[in-house]
Amino acid sequence: MDAGQPGAQQAARLDAADPLAARRELFVLDDPDRPGDAVYLDGNSLGALPRAVPDRVADVIAREWGRLRIRSWTESGWWEAPERIGDRIAPLVGAAPGQIVVGDSTSVNVFKALVGAVRMADEDPGGTGRDEILVDAATFPTDGYLAHSAARLTGRTVRALPPGDLADAVSERTAAVLLNHVDYRTGELHDLPGTTAAAHAAGAYLVADLCHSAGALPVGLDEHGVDFAVGCTYKYLNGGPGAPAYVYLRAAHQGRFDSPLPGWHSHRDPFGMTPDFAPAADARRGRVGTPDLLSMLALEAALTVWDGVAIADVRAKSLALSDFFLRRVEHYVPDGRVTSLTPREHARRGSQVALACPDAEAVMAGLIARGVVGDFRRPGVLRFGFTPLYTSFADVERAARTLAEVLADHGGAGSAG
């Protein structure tokens, strides 16, 4: 890329003024085969590797597992890891300590939270008459599958609606509402506070999926009164492939939460080994069995990149990055060649930009071949994720310019100015 181009000059000015710029050095970003030649805009699918992780994992394997072995459950803090790491995630989603436990997959946690919410509704006055679960029709497919499974288990039906219609649709028939905070396909930010308030006004409970918002924008779980929330840790939280997910159990609900997957780790007295289940009195009710310690401790090391970071600064940079990308795409790409599916309004935008492009799969392959890594969703959607801790404005400028070049190769011409 010609550093004399106006877009490059704009990017350089923005990077020089970026208060988060130094965080980039905490990540492994270069392609070893092509140093300095990788632009990674797929952190909305898999976050980059924090530099602190490899040494920590090596220590866990060689010392904690290799030498201390079973003693690490107590001497290395393995037993408390799900709650300890949950408390590290808590400020990133606006939660006080003691409400998040880490473990299992997002899918398992969605199921636990949704069934638990419906069971709580059953215990409320008139709760057995609440015969429906509301879900947003644009939800990630697995969330929909799990909602139907939870409905079968609890004797409910599922009603799927556009996310913007959920607040108006909640009624005395609704037991629980399942809402994705940010749409995985379009990057649209949905109204979590408003939908939560509407659910509560109707006597229902709200379960939020934070996979595409945690670590990218303020969530405010405590502030907005969200009942339950789940999320993965391998996207904006950079925990690594298959990193454990988490579940948020609002403090006021912990004593009533009835998990459909009770296990010895969620027992009040785990080592009592009693045949009858007696749940813990706190957020440990969200646990099940023995956690995946290697991945969990890798996540704990990854979360150190957040030390001293204000989520408001993350949000400000996220919006600035996506604004800059949209402007540069408009500058380089001919009108009509791609169309943004992501809302322009900041209040409705997550931390990705999705572009409708008929030949998205081939275009993304061309981008990756030129060192710009995003991803695509069928049919015809290019996705570009902006991870404020390591994405630079120079990355964004290069991505937009390269997109125009690839699109020109597939038909059409872009501007070079």
- Tell me the residue length of the chain: 417
Question: What token pair was written down for 56?
Answer: 């920590």
Contacts of 417 (CB under 8 A, 6+ apart): 5, 6, 331
Q: How far is CA 314 from CA 18, 215, 220, in A?
A: 10, 8, 14
140 is catalytic: yes
Q: What is the pLDDT of residue 30?
A: 79
Q: Helices in 186-246 by DSSP H: which ranges? A: 192-201, 221-224
Q: Which of 284, 317, 337, 383 is catalytic?
A: 383
Q: Residue 225, class by beta-carbon neighbours within 10 Å (0-12 exposed, 13-18 middle, 19+ buried)?
A: middle
pLDDT values of the chain reduced to their tens digit, one per residue, 417 residues = 444 568 999 999 999 999 999 999 999 997 656 655 689 999 999 999 999 999 999 999 999 999 999 999 999 999 999 999 999 999 999 999 999 999 999 999 999 999 999 999 999 988 788 999 999 999 999 999 999 999 999 999 999 999 999 999 999 999 999 999 999 999 999 999 999 999 999 999 999 999 999 999 999 999 999 999 999 999 999 999 999 999 999 999 999 999 999 999 999 999 999 999 999 999 999 999 999 999 999 999 999 999 999 999 999 999 999 999 999 999 999 999 999 999 999 999 999 999 999 999 999 999 999 999 999 999 999 999 999 999 999 999 999 999 999 999 987 544 444
Q: What is the pLDDT of residue 33?
A: 62
- Reported as type and span, the H/E element at residue 415 is none
234 is catalytic: yes
Q: What is the pLDDT of residue 34?
A: 60
How many whole angstroms separate alpha carbon 11 and alpha carbon 2?
12
**202, 172 Cβ separation under 8 angstroms:** yes
Question: What token pair was written down for 35?
Answer: 């140093």
Q: Which of 27, 40, 111, 140 is catalytic?
A: 140
Q: Which of 23, 130, 235, 337 is catalytic?
A: 235
Angle at 7 between CA 5 and CA 12, to 5 degrees: 95
**179, 148 Cβ separation under 8 angstroms:** no
**CB-hemisphere CA count at 13 Å for 181?**
27
Contacts of 134 (CB under 8 A, 6+ apart): 158, 159, 160, 161, 166, 169, 170, 174, 176, 177, 178, 204
Q: Residue 264, class by beta-carbon neighbours within 10 Å (0-12 exposed, 13-18 middle, 19+ buried)?
A: middle
Q: What is the pLDDT of residue 208?
A: 98
Q: Which domains does the chain have, with CATH numbers?
A: 6-37+310-409 (3.90.1150.10), 55-306 (3.40.640.10)
How many whole angstroms separate alpha carbon 351 and alpha carbon 353?
7
Q: Which of 136, 209, 375, 395 is catalytic?
A: 209
Question: What token pair was written down for 234?
Answer: 């391998």
205 is catalytic: no
How many whole angstroms separate alpha carbon 328 and alpha carbon 343?
16
Q: What is the pLDDT of residue 38?
A: 85
209 is catalytic: yes
Residues in a beta bridge with 49: 28
DSSP 250-306: -GGGTTT---SS--GGGBSSGGG--SS--B-SSGGGG--S---HHHHHHHHHHGGGG
- Reported as type and span, the H/E element at residue 321 is helix 311-332
317 is catalytic: no
Q: Which of 27, 228, 234, 324 is catalytic?
A: 234
For residue 39, which phi and psi values (nearest 5 degrees)?
Answer: -115, 115
**299, 312 Cβ separation under 8 angstroms:** no
Closest by Cα among 54, 103, 20, 56 to 392 = 20
